[in-house]
Amino acid sequence: MPTLSPSVRKSATLIYHFAERESKARYKRSILGWFWSFMNPLTTVIVYSFVFGVVYGAKAPLTSNGNAENFGLYLFTGLVVWSLFTGIVNGSMGWLTSVSDLRKKIYFPTETALLGGAAANAVQTSLEVVVLIAIMLVAANLSWTLIFLPIAVLMALFFALGLGFIAAIYNARYRDIQYLVGILLNVAFFAVPIVYTPTLLDNDDIPDIVRILVEWNPPALFVEIARDATYFLEVPQWNRMLAALAWTVVTFSIGWWYFRDQSMAISEEP
Amino acid sequence: MNTGSIHVRGVSKRFRLERNRPSSLKEALLRTGKKKDVDDFWALRDIDLDIEPGAFFGLIGHNGSGKSTLLRLMANIHAPTTGEIEATGRLSALLELGSGFHPDLTGRENVYLNGAMLGLSRRQMAESMDRIIEFSGIGEFIDEPVKIYSSGMYVRLGFAVAVNVDPEILLVDEVIAVGDEEFQRRCMDHMHQLRDKGTTIVLVSHNAGLMSRLCDRVGWLDHGRLLALGDATEVVDRYLAHVNSAGDNTLTTHD
């Protein structure tokens, strides 16, 4: 490909390599392999629907055409985006540490390890999206608004990478960061309306600030846009789209810049 | 033609040695505001040198003189603290035992990974795979994880990759001393072949005989400074004279 500069081609080859390694490592020594990537979200959906839908009697909002009113589906749509987000933020730190010894002996652009890991997670998410669309097809709940789903997924991916770049550099210095990030993500899970609906917060006991936080935090925006696209079959509100895009562009740019600025020092860490 | 050249301009390299470095976030936070216990160590100071295409350049000096650091800077492993290094051309480096191998991957996978890091596609690497396996002489071990390799196998595979990827610049850090004699001879032959093809080679060693035999030009590093730069035999002779006189001094002081 003569149009690609050598450094771009080199990075592309490396990203592919790291993505392949991440995907292979995930289901190494397993017989059923990719089957598990379907099983994991599926069991989560079944367990959560039972606990929240049956035990607690949580009601999912009705879809626009009234074809689906299923807490499991409502949940699954949110989980697809959320697991991509956490997978990348959590994974970034490990992807960098796993190549840092190598980087002390040979030069290569370290960001390719993170981009490759993110690509592997994106493949996993695509499989989940296929399952989601298949179920929605059976439920006759599909519309052209589906085109907003990949947009939501891509924004979640680049936003997560931005955070992942920063977390990975800090984690190279202090391994505490990975535990801290793990805890923060567990907390954040409940700041995003995944296992509950935002309408649950329409309660006078809940301060406005909580409502604003839950509605406008970036992962929640990505989740809501994905839900508009596949569950409610509505065009996402433009101000949410704009906010989500702004979060994504700003976070990814800062993360990328910070990582590029600091990554040469990785080889000097003891 | 300027591929295969290295230009080092005003390069200094400082390593920060942080004593009692905080090993956890808690410690780091507890210590905020307190003065850091930092030692600056200047591994290189104001180095200027140009290595022209096709040159066989040697770096000589005692242990800790900064020659390996300079080679690492040329390989872009570390960034210089001041100054700049410009290396044009595909650069392949053999810096230490098993440089650039991932222990969990097999030899074959590592060869592909190394190729990717040098900017070679999988197909290009597949074409040279047989040559690499043959040259390294590690046979069926190529499909075993490299962590089970002996140190000799490590170096042989490393060298086989480094020289068979058709580099324009080859950096070698006295690793060839590890293999057995037959392998060492093959390495020498191969380096000669590469030089005849026009590959620029930079070799680091304190083996004076080897240096004056192989290199056209030699730089002599001492405590991070370039003491001499020029014709190989001339610089090596000065280096040897210095080493011998230092040796005499220590002998006399002991007496």
The answer to whether B117 contacts A14, with C-beta atoms less than 8 Å apart, is: yes
- Give A5's pLDDT tier (boundaries 50, 70, 90): low
Contact status of A9 with chain B (Cβ, < 8 Å)? yes
Contact status of B92 with chain A (Cβ, < 8 Å)? no
CATH code at position B135: 3.40.50.300
Distance (Å, whole) CA A204 – CA B106: 62
Name every residue whose Cβ is closer than 8 Å to that of residue B184 and which is 6 or more positions away in sequence.
Answer: B176, B177
Enclosing H/E stretch for A81: helix A71-103
Q: Are B164 and B91 in contact (CB under 8 A)?
A: no
* Token representation of residue A31: 């017989």
| CB neighbours of residue B245 within 10 Å | 9
pLDDT higher than threshold 60 for residue A2: no
For residue B84, what are the β-bridge partners? B9
pLDDT higher than threshold 90 for residue A161: yes
Average pLDDT, rounded, for chain B: 84
- Give A199's pLDDT tier (boundaries 50, 70, 90): confident
Distance (Å, whole) CA B255 – CA B251: 6
The answer to whether A102 contacts B116, with C-beta atoms less than 8 Å apart, is: no
Q: What is the DSSP secondary structure assignment for residue B62, as one 8-state letter?
A: S
Residue with tokens 């959320």: A82
**A1 domain-assigned:** no
**A61 domain-assigned:** yes
**Overall average pLDDT of the A96-119 stretch:** 91
Predicted local distance difference test score (pLDDT) of residue A66: 64
Q: Which residue has the higher pLDDT, A48 or A187?
A: A187
**pLDDT, tens digit (0-9, with 9 covering 90-100), for A108-133:** 999 999 999 999 999 989 988 988 89
Contact status of B26 with chain A (Cβ, < 8 Å)? yes
User: Are β-strands B200-204 and B56-60 bridged in parallel, bridged antiparallel, or unpaired?
Assistant: parallel
Q: Are B83 and B8 in contact (CB under 8 A)?
A: yes
CB-nearest to A105 from B100, B113, B118 is B100
Distance (Å, whole) CA B97 – CA A54: 61
**A246 domain-assigned:** yes
The answer to whether A10 contacts B24, with C-beta atoms less than 8 Å apart, is: no
CB-nearest to B119 from A6, A106, A264 is A6
Distance (Å, whole) CA B70 – CA B51: 13
Predicted local distance difference test score (pLDDT) of residue A63: 67
Residue B45 burial by Cβ neighbours in a 10 Å radius (0-12, 13-18, 19+) = middle
Domain that holds residue B210: 5-254
Q: Are A12 and A159 in contact (CB under 8 A)?
A: no
pLDDT higher than threshold 80 for residue A70: no
Contact status of A42 with chain B (Cβ, < 8 Å)? no
Contact status of B197 with chain A (Cβ, < 8 Å)? no
**pLDDT, tens digit (0-9, with 9 covering 90-100), for B139-191:** 899 999 988 988 888 888 888 888 888 889 999 887 666 667 787 788 888 88
pLDDT higher than threshold 70 for residue B255: no
**A35 domain-assigned:** yes
Q: Are A110 and A103 in contact (CB under 8 A)?
A: yes
**Overall average pLDDT of the A232-254 stretch:** 95
Contact status of B20 with chain A (Cβ, < 8 Å)? no
- Give A149's pLDDT tier (boundaries 50, 70, 90): very high
Q: How far is CA A70 from CA A50, A73, A144, in A?
A: 11, 5, 21
Contact status of A107 with chain B (Cβ, < 8 Å)? yes
**pLDDT, tens digit (0-9, with 9 covering 90-100), for A50-60:** 887 778 777 77
Average pLDDT, rounded, for chain A: 87
**Overall average pLDDT of the A138-159 stretch:** 92
Contact status of A175 with chain B (Cβ, < 8 Å)? yes
Predicted local distance difference test score (pLDDT) of residue B56: 92
Distance (Å, whole) CA A163 – CA A21: 22
pLDDT higher than threshold 90 for residue A46: no
Domain that holds residue A141: 6-268
**Overall average pLDDT of the A168-182 stretch:** 92
Number of domains in chain B: 1
Q: Does this complex have an ipTM over 0.90? A: no
Distance (Å, whole) CA B76 – CA B89: 13
Name every residue whose Cβ is closer than 8 Å to that of residue B225 and which is 6 or more positions away in sequence.
Answer: B45, B46, B47
Angle at A246 between CA A241 and CA A249, to 5 degrees: 120
Predicted local distance difference test score (pLDDT) of residue B12: 93
Size of interface A-B (CB pairs under 8 A): 64
**pLDDT, tens digit (0-9, with 9 covering 90-100), for B7-47:** 999 999 998 877 767 767 777 777 776 666 777 889 999 99
* Token representation of residue B96: 């230490």
**pLDDT, tens digit (0-9, with 9 covering 90-100), for B203-227:** 998 788 888 888 999 999 999 999 9
Number of domains in chain A: 1
**A226 domain-assigned:** yes
Predicted local distance difference test score (pLDDT) of residue B59: 93
Closest CA to A110 of A122, A94, A99: A99
The answer to whether B25 contacts A177, with C-beta atoms less than 8 Å apart, is: yes
**pLDDT, tens digit (0-9, with 9 covering 90-100), for B186-205:** 888 888 888 888 899 999 98
**A82 domain-assigned:** yes
The answer to whether A176 contacts B76, with C-beta atoms less than 8 Å apart, is: no
CA distance A154 to chain B (A): 26
Contact status of B21 with chain A (Cβ, < 8 Å)? yes
Taking CA–CA distances from A8, the nearest residue in chain B reads B119
CB-nearest to A268 from B15, B113, B114 is B15
pLDDT higher than threshold 50 for residue B254: no
Predicted local distance difference test score (pLDDT) of residue B135: 86
CA distance B18 to chain A (A): 10
The answer to whether B75 contacts A106, with C-beta atoms less than 8 Å apart, is: yes
Q: Are B167 and B91 in contact (CB under 8 A)?
A: yes
CA distance B160 to chain A (A): 16
CA distance B59 to chain A (A): 19
The answer to whether A176 contacts B21, with C-beta atoms less than 8 Å apart, is: no
**A175 domain-assigned:** yes
